[in-house]
Amino acid sequence: MKKNKIVTTEDILLKLCQSVSGVLSSATDSNVSYSAMVQKINKTSLKPDFGCFVLFDGGFSGLVVINFTAKAALELYTKYMQNMGIPAEELAIAHTSDEVGDVLGELMNQLVGDFTNKIRKELQTHITQNQPKMLSLNKQVILSVDTNLDRPQARRVTFSTENHNIFYLELAMDKTEFIQLEEFEMDEDENPDDILEKTQQQMREKEKQNEPKGNNDADDLLSELGL
């Protein structure tokens, strides 16, 4: 008899950690890693210096919190902007800058989007997210989940940037299990690098087509007329 595959809270947390690490590493062109050990906690909370959070709902409900130190926030912001081609002299120097909050919010939006896509494909269910919120903090704020969780579970995972600056991911969600009853095929994701390269190639071809041709057209016309 076939043994049914079971996906637990820890498996879902692992998918989230992979999304965080993968999206931040790609966006900043640096190595962002996470600890192989996970910590059980009683409550999620926003902590100094910079806290981001997003709620999700649907197949299951929960809350994702990421607490950055000032150094980790600035490193990720700086490397992301430089990877986008922005000169260093044009970048913000304080983690309290609105620019830093906007970038971290965009990155969180991307990583939670990647996570919800994994859930859709691998667990055959659907979850939606709200717009991420960011707060610059100098005191700890206890944040409760405003959703109907019968048996809430909370976990914390430590992340490290390439420069060894630490930040923390916290996940709160209902205790749940997904049990695979039948085999199914997952759609393959396109490689983000391939998509980017394809887009850049299309832009180069378009620019080439729009380049001024000088007198070439006139020369071709005179040649056709035998002049």
At residue 187, the 3 state secondary structure works out as coil
- Please give the Cα distance from 168 to 166 (Å, whole number): 7
CB 136 within 8 A of CB 69: no
Cα dist from 68 to 136, 158, 225, whole Å: 10, 11, 71
Q: How is residue 51 written in tokens?
A: 């806290």
Q: What are the E-state strand segments in the chain?
A: 6-7, 33-34, 39-41, 45-46, 50-58, 62-68, 127-129, 133-136, 141-142, 152-160, 166-174, 178-179
CB 46 within 8 A of CB 143: yes
Residue in the block written with tokens 């990155």 = 107
- Does pTM surpass 0.85? no
Residues 176, 181, 184: CA angle, nearest 5 degrees: 105
Q: How is residue 147 written in tokens?
A: 């959703």
- Please give the Cα distance from 127 to 144 (Å, whole number): 19
From first to last of its 227 residues, the chain has per-residue pLDDT tens of 456 788 889 999 999 999 999 999 999 999 999 999 999 998 888 888 889 999 888 888 889 999 999 999 999 999 999 998 989 889 998 888 889 989 999 999 999 999 999 999 988 888 998 888 888 887 777 765 555 667 789 999 999 999 999 999 999 998 888 888 887 776 665 555 555 565 556 666 766 666 655 555 556 545 555 55
Output phi, psi for 80, to 5 deg. -65, -50
CB 125 within 8 A of CB 115: no
Chain CA centroid to CA 135, Å: 18
Q: Where are the alpha helices (DSSP H) in 93-191?
A: 98-122
